[in-house]
Structure 1
């Protein structure tokens, strides 16, 4: 059934929006793809400004949006390309700090409303941290509305000077039809054999190999797991600047850990695991945590950031940075099938409380409606 749009009534032009992505982490890119699909279905014209690699990965054009290649850089050429793409927009919606700052520059001197979604907090130290705070202040004071994916981000936006900051409804997008995973029960033995986890527990972590992800803590915990029989295998899917350093530690300490690189089948890998591990709350709405609960995979996670708010009592939570607590929580859970089953059931109930994609699109449309006036036909 084709949705009937309330955004193209007789005598009124369709709402024209521009979605702006930077490099685009997995969460924000998937969110924009989901938004584009829902908005287009409701009669909204959507242009996505993002690096061409993001369109290849998330197929914004396949969702019915127009894609305009805008490099991640904030150099004058990129800002000019974004400014051109926003020329006829009724509203611009930027995702993430760097994309939002480029949108601020591109809209300078115009009265086009700017909506900003903060998906994560930008991490930095020293002089760069001060620079990022300046960017945050510039962005939130320019934006008409700031949407934060967690209450912590909403509070941060308000403290930084936002005129209007609200909690965003952000759904975990379902797999696109062309990429629907195969039957997980049938795939499970194949995936485990490929990873070398036949006859031993498989512990799965997913995320870029960056300092704030807590992988040092995870490797410290893996020392304890070497003493188990059978020894669990920890598989980490992701790439990043720490790869060489982590790999050196794995080899030097003979840890039962494999770095398997960036994977397009992370959802299938996770579904084949005995436990999912989230050693840091670096993401505001962790995709790993959400997918683990949806897939009925027990989760052991650091109790920091927005993780407790996201998972409630449906995961084993341990203090962030405490390798001993992480190690022993995993050991206890592997030895307690009843607790595992309880967490699987709690996970499904918790996941049912999260916003749906329709609810996410509806909230965004209500914000757009507040900020735009009736648009006469051109």
Structure 2
């Protein structure tokens, strides 16, 4: 079995070691990702890049296709952002030429920057980054960032086979949850020695009291922060709201996010007669969390949810599906329900709305646990410690 995270005291000792100058020898880190739109992985990359920069490490963010809201945040923090120009449109001769040009640009950029570490996030970043790193033909440490389970990703056998080959030439895999690490070990066959679990981190601001957003309703407010994609299971939340309405227990659902499922969800909400507010994507969600009676995440698959983490930091009671790393966050500190089960979702929401004392106690327990285990400094320290260890191994070899 993959080992769970080390105790907080160990992380504290590592942090003290960093403060005594352990960063020496780590000159440059390149972080590779597909795009910089609003999303959990993008937020974590941004936090990591900024904190590494503050510690005196040269940081470059390499973006395969397009920038987004986090691009400006990175630039303001002094982090260089390089847009490589890969396309995402349907394939064809022109798109093939464009992507080959972008790939050559990536290889050339790696040769120019000569980073000590290339940390590639998500599936496409890992697949493209691994090949580019080897073609760059200079020694660097290649780290793959696993952020979720493959239920709704790379399901085809040939993709998995290719990923196994790429992982063999990867120095290390970082998973953001024990469940994600276990899948890498069992499904992909990654040796346990090549896998580490580093939880996502939260900045201190996530624990600050926020001014609640104004939601004009007399009903309980249920907030869900998620991209409007099928994997997030939002249709089951809308179904649950319909069940509560039919039981005479109406609620107002606030969906914070944007995506391809919006039209379908709007039609579903209209057909059921439920009050669902679509407020679009927001990089900062604290105000919406502050106005929530209950926060819900009905995902069908997750890694370690930033939305759940931020709700915990805000002290909000959470109902979420028991998938991926979510039980690691909420076991004993929230209400866990099966995936794709609107009846269980409705019962979980009603349970917390009906019992304010239970809701408050779960919210307080979640906040306390998040403060101890989801600390941004610990997350960054663990990455730096891993980078150093891998660099020392490579130099010794």
- TM-score normalised to the size of structure 2? 0.82
Q: Structure 2 matches for 1:216-235, cutoff 5 A?
A: 216-227=235-246, 231-235=250-254
Cα contact 1:36–1:64 (8 A) shared by 2 = no
Q: Distance in 1 between matches of 2:85 and 2:317?
A: 39
Cα contact 1:285–1:306 (8 A) shared by 2 = yes
Structure 2 residue matching 1:60: 3-state secondary structure? helix
2:204 corresponds to 1:157: no
Q: 1:196 aligns with which of 216, 219, 235?
A: 216
* Cα-to-partner distance string for 1:86-116 (whole Å, 9 max, x where unaligned): 1112221111111111101211342322011
- How far apart are residue 271 of structure 1 and its match? 1.3
Q: Structure 2 matches for 1:76-115, cutoff 5 A?
A: 76-87=100-111, 88-109=114-135, 110=137, 111-115=139-143
Match of 2:165 in 1: 138
Q: Distance in 2 between matches of 1:375 and 1:318?
A: 44
* Cα-to-partner distance string for 1:299-337 (whole Å, 9 max, x where unaligned): 111122211112221111112111111112211221111
2:196 corresponds to 1:166: yes
Q: 2:33 aligns with which of 21, 24, 30?
A: 21
Sort the Cα spacing of 1:61 and 1:148 in 2 relative to 1 into closer, same or farther, 3 A: same
Structure 2 regions of 5+ residues with no counterpart?
Answer: 1-18, 89-98
2:148 corresponds to 1:120: yes
Sort the Cα spacing of 1:48 and 1:298 in 2 relative to 1 into closer, same or farther, 3 A: same
Q: Distance in 2 between matches of 1:329 and 1:357?
A: 30
Structure 2 residue matching 1:108: 3-state secondary structure? helix
Structure 2 residue matching 1:22: 3-state secondary structure? strand
* Cα-to-partner distance string for 1:268-298 (whole Å, 9 max, x where unaligned): 1111111101112533111111111111111
More helix by percentage: 2
Q: Structure 2 matches for 1:263-282, cutoff 5 A?
A: 263-280=282-299, 282=301
Sort the Cα spacing of 1:365 and 1:282 in 2 relative to 1 into closer, same or farther, 3 A: same
Q: Structure 2 matches for 1:35-114, cutoff 5 A?
A: 35-50=48-63, 51-54=65-68, 56-57=70-71, 59-71=73-85, 73=87, 75-87=99-111, 88-109=114-135, 110=137, 111-114=139-142
Q: Distance in 1 between matches of 2:377 and 2:201?
A: 9
Sort the Cα spacing of 1:211 and 1:361 in 2 relative to 1 into closer, same or farther, 3 A: same
Sort the Cα spacing of 1:119 and 1:128 in 2 relative to 1 into closer, same or farther, 3 A: closer
Cα contact 2:295–2:317 (8 A) shared by 1 = yes
- How far apart are residue 218 of structure 1 and its match? 0.9
Structure 1 residue matching 2:299: 3-state secondary structure? coil
Structure 2 residue matching 1:61: 3-state secondary structure? helix
- TM-score normalised to the size of structure 1? 0.86
